[in-house]
Amino acid sequence: MNPLKCIIVDDEPLAVRLIQSFVERTPSLELLSAHTDPVEALEAIQSGEANLVFLDIQMPDIDGMELARSVPATTRIIFTTAFKEYAFESYEVSALDFLLKPIRYVKFLAAVEKAKQWFERTTSTEDATTSQETNATPPATTIYIKVDGELRQVAFDSILYVAGMKDYVMFYLKNERKPLITHLTMKAVEEMLPTTKFLRVHRSYIVALDSIRKVDRNDCVYIGDEIIHVTSGYADAFHQYLKQLTP
């Protein structure tokens, strides 16, 4: 892991020099800047370049708590203060640690180690998420249906509509004169087809939404050579779909 880039903010020059000496002794840290003026420090912090800010609380003009609320979400805070009564309040602004002055190097190292672990966990989570997205299985574009004892692969984009007939369904395809007939229920077919592409409009019909040529005032769908009436049980979902497409 690369060194954590840090900023020091404390209105006491001696305190700044002490933390600066600690940073210089710690290989896992890289100092970006040190400030005794919190107003001056604000611009450096808001740039988002720093991973970590060592921040005093009691300072003129802007105190550490106010400054902490301007820190980017990707930057973590370690408070450095002589007043332990601020400890509880420090965790309200998601501080990683709270170092009480006079600060010993061993305590400083423990706080830095906590920061390293936080950034390592965050990086691991982001990498895992990216890996999952990269390796995610692409959505299916076809289904297999059994026709005359053989499995036939059918692309979703080739389907015009599906018609049910008792325990059988007929797949009507583009550029094919005869439907493919298979032993399935309409419910099973409905579950097999993606809802983004297909919609059931009748007890016996599922239509490919992209293949609808027009819908008349009587809720009749014109698709291929067929005219399919949208029945009352399926009308609400169909009208909702049309509403999304209508300006």
Mark whether 120 and 163 lie in a shared domain. no
What is d(CA 15, CA 23) in angstroms, rounded to the nearest whole number?
Answer: 12
* 52 and 124 inside one domain: yes
Domain final position from 79, 104, 135: 135
Residue 128 is predicted with a pLDDT of: 55
Q: Are residues 217 and 154 in the same domain?
A: yes
Shared domain for 131 and 146, answered yes or no, is: no
Instruction: Count, in order, helices (H) and strands (E) of the chain.
Output: 7, 15
Of 109, 135, 161, which residue constitutes the final position of a domain? 135
**Contact present, 99 and 107 (Cβ < 8 Å):** yes
Pair 44, 119 in one domain: yes
Please check whether residues 61 and 93 belong to one and the same domain: yes
Q: Same structural domain for residues 185 and 153?
A: yes
**pLDDT over threshold 80, residue 175:** yes
Same domain, 129 and 159: no
Domain, as residue range, for 52: 4-135
Same-domain pairing of 112 and 91: yes
- Whether the pLDDT of residue 72 is over 60: the answer is yes
CATH number, domain at 235? 2.40.50.1020
Clarify whether residues 123 and 8 are in a common domain.
Answer: yes
Domain end marker among 75, 106, 135: 135
Predicted pLDDT of residue 131: 54
Q: What integer pLDDT is reported at residue 42 of this predicted model?
A: 87
Bridge partners, residue 165, by sequence: 168
In sequence order, the 6+-apart residues with CB closer than 8 A to the CB of 209 are: 197, 198, 199, 241
Q: What is the pTM of this model?
A: 0.51
* CATH code, domain with 35: 3.40.50.2300
pLDDT tens digits for range 91-127: 556 678 889 999 999 999 999 998 998 888 877 655 5
* Exposure class string for 212-231: b at 16+ Cβ within 10 A, else e: beebeeebebebbeeebebe
Q: Domain total for the chain?
A: 2
Within this chain, do residues 21 and 120 fall inside the same structural domain, yes or no?
yes
Instruction: Determine phi and psi for 156, rounding to 5 degrees.
Output: -55, -40
User: Which amino acid is residue 204, in one-letter code?
Assistant: S
- The two beta strands, 52-56 and 4-9, are parallel
Confidence of residue 3 (pLDDT cuts 50, 70, 90): very high
Instruction: Assess whether 173 and 113 both reside in one domain.
Output: no
Burial 20-55 (b: 16+ CB within 10 A, else e): bebbeebeebbbbbbbbebeebbebbeeeebbbbbb
Tally of CA atoms within 13 A in the half-sphere of 145 that contains its CB: 25
